[in-house]
Amino acid sequence: MGIFSRVANIFKAKANTVLNELENPEETLNYSIVEMKEQLNKIKKSLVDITTVKKGLEDELEDIQGKIQIAENQAELAVASNREDLARAALEKKQNLVEEKERLSRQIEELSGKQSIIQKNKEHLESELSELETKKQELIAMNRAAEAQMAVKEALTGISSEMNDIRGRIERAEKRIKEKKAKVSAMDELIEMGALEELEERDNVEAELNKIHREELIKQELDRLKKKHQGGNE
């Protein structure tokens, strides 16, 4: 297949796709019935034409059959009259008529075959047309039901898409809220940790002060004892 043929097939396929999308099934159905009726009328006309031609040939054949019999009678009369020349001429005429009869018989036989084929095509098309007309309302009802179901599904699809968008926004909002909550919890923990450190520092200071105070008390007691000892020695 050449490049131009492939390109032509591609354009044809795309054109068929566009036509399928634009095509109205009910209009297509009605148009198909009209086309079938037109074809049926053409077949009927062909059948009438071929029947007319066949009838004309049959009439001609019947006429020739009569002429053959006349030529036969003439030949017999010529022989009876000892007119061999006339008998020969009559038989020559008869032979020509016999050949013409055979030719007409073949034509009639061929026309009969064609007539039979056309008749079968006519009956087949009439049957298809009758069946299609019977199913027409059923097919139209099916088409309208399918369109209604498609409209509902398209509407549900749109609602589903909108709900998905809404759910997405809710999930994002929930995520942001959780992030903020986690941030607050973290800040609380940091604040709490800071307070504990302050308490620990405060405890350390108090412990250090208590230690200094205790040492001061011990020093005072030691000084007192030293003074007492010195006083006793004097």
The share of the chain scoring above pLDDT 90, in percent, equals: 25
* Residues 92-108: tens digit of each pLDDT: 999 999 999 999 999 99
Q: Is the pLDDT of residue 73 over 70?
A: yes
Among 61-65, 131-135, 165-169, the least confident range: 165-169
pTM of the model: 0.49
Q: Measuring CA to CA, which residue among 113, 124, 65 is closest to residue 132?
A: 124
Rounded CA gap, 217 and 39, in Å?
Answer: 132
Residue 174 pLDDT > 80, yes or no? no
Instruction: Say how far apart CA 163 and CA 167 lie, in whole Å.
Output: 6
pLDDT above 60 for 61: yes
pLDDT confidence of 57, banded at 50, 70, 90?
very high
User: pLDDT band at residue 70, thresholds of 50, 70 and 90?
Assistant: very high
Given a cut of 70, whether residue 201 has pLDDT beyond it is no
So what's the pLDDT on residue 192? 59
Given a cut of 80, is residue 171 above it in pLDDT?
A: no
Question: Looking at the predicted structure, is the pLDDT value of residue 72 above 60?
Answer: yes
Q: Is residue 211's pLDDT more than 60? A: yes
Whether the predicted pLDDT of 33 surpasses 80: yes
Cα-based angle 137, 141, 146 (whole degrees, multiple of 5): 150
What residue segments make up the domains of the chain, in order of their start?
3-166
pLDDT value at residue 227: 75
pLDDT reported for residue 3? 34
Query: What torsion do the CA atoms of 66, 72, 78, 81 make, to the nearest 10 degrees?
Result: -100
Residue carrying structure tokens 């903020």:
180
The pLDDT assigned to 196 comes to 47
pLDDT confidence of residue 190:
55
Residue bearing the bigger pLDDT, 232 or 107: 107
Percent of the chain with pLDDT over 70: 69
For residue 207, what are its two tokens?
A: 């412990």
| Cα–Cα distance measured from residue 104 to residue 102, given in angstroms and rounded to the nearest whole number | 5
What does pLDDT average to over the chain? 76
Query: Is residue 225 classed as helix, strand or coil in its secondary structure?
Result: helix
